[in-house]
């Protein structure tokens, strides 16, 4: 009678690797390339915004210099209807340029900070009775929508904004409160001008 002993146990069976070393290198290389591309795109956007801001600032300086020259000409000569009309036109043009520069500066700040600062502060001001479903930002104005689980939750939450760097002093032009079909208390805090951005 023969007896066989199997010395080739499961311990010697080669286990299949999920990812080989070469595959892991490819994955890390792809992640590195994506990171570099993302950073390069962000830098390109930032450079474009700064160039636009500088161009607007230079144009504003030229307009201010022209306005000063016109003011000097008006003060040195007898009032002229043509000069007065030109001065009025230049003042209106300067006001428009200043408004444009303000918009560019606001967009530059938004690109630098993004929504990250606002989201960080909203996370810090988390309230157990508030569930934020939507927010919007336009030129520094913030609008918020969500669900409140207590009647006093929204006023209490808004009062806590004074502890926030980005939301302190934020004013809302309208507060809408309503019950939805599930009897949940929905609210909207609306600023003057908003640009919607869902979470």
Within a domain: 50: yes
CATH of the domain at 128: 3.30.1360
pTM greater than 0.85: no
pLDDT digits (tens, 9 = 90+) for 156-181: 998 998 888 878 877 888 888 888 77
pLDDT digits (tens, 9 = 90+) for 53-101: 888 888 888 888 888 888 887 776 666 778 788 888 888 888 877 876 7
User: By residue range, what is the domain housing residue 180?
Assistant: 116-197
Tell me which of 81, 113, 145 is where a domain ends: 113
Same domain, 67 and 28: yes
Overall domain count for the chain? 2
Same domain, 101 and 81: yes
Same domain, 123 and 106: no
Within a domain: 12: no
pLDDT of residue 156: 92
Same domain, 106 and 120: no
| pLDDT > 90 fraction of the chain, expressed in percent and rounded | 1
Tell me which residue of 151, 98, 41 sits closest to 49, measured CA to CA: 41
Same domain, 105 and 133: no
């Amino acid at each position: 009678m023969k007896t066989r002993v199997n010395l080739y146990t499961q311990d010697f069976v080669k286990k299949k690797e999920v990812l080989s070393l070469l595959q892991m290198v490819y994955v890390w290389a792809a992640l590195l390339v994506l990171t570099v591309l993302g950073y390069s795109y962000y830098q390109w956007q930032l450079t474009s915004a700064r160039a636009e801001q500088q161009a607007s600032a230079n144009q504003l300086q030229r307009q201010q210099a022209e306005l000063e020259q016109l003011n000097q000409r008006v003060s040195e000569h007898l009032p002229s209807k043509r000069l007065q009309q030109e001065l009025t036109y230049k003042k209106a043009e300067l006001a428009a340029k200043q408004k444009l520069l303000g918009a560019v500066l606001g967009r530059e700040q938004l690109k630098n900070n993004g929504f990250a600062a606002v989201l960080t502060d909203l996370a810090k001001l988390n309230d157990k009775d508030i569930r934020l479903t939507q927010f919007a930002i336009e030129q520094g104005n913030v609008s918020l929508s969500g669900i409140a689980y207590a009647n006093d939750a929204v006023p209490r939450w808004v009062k806590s904004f004074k502890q926030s760097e980005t939301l302190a002093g934020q004013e809302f032009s309208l507060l809408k409160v309503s019950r939805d079909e599930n009897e949940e208390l929905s609210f909207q805090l609306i600023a003057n001008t908003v640009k919607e951005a869902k979470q």
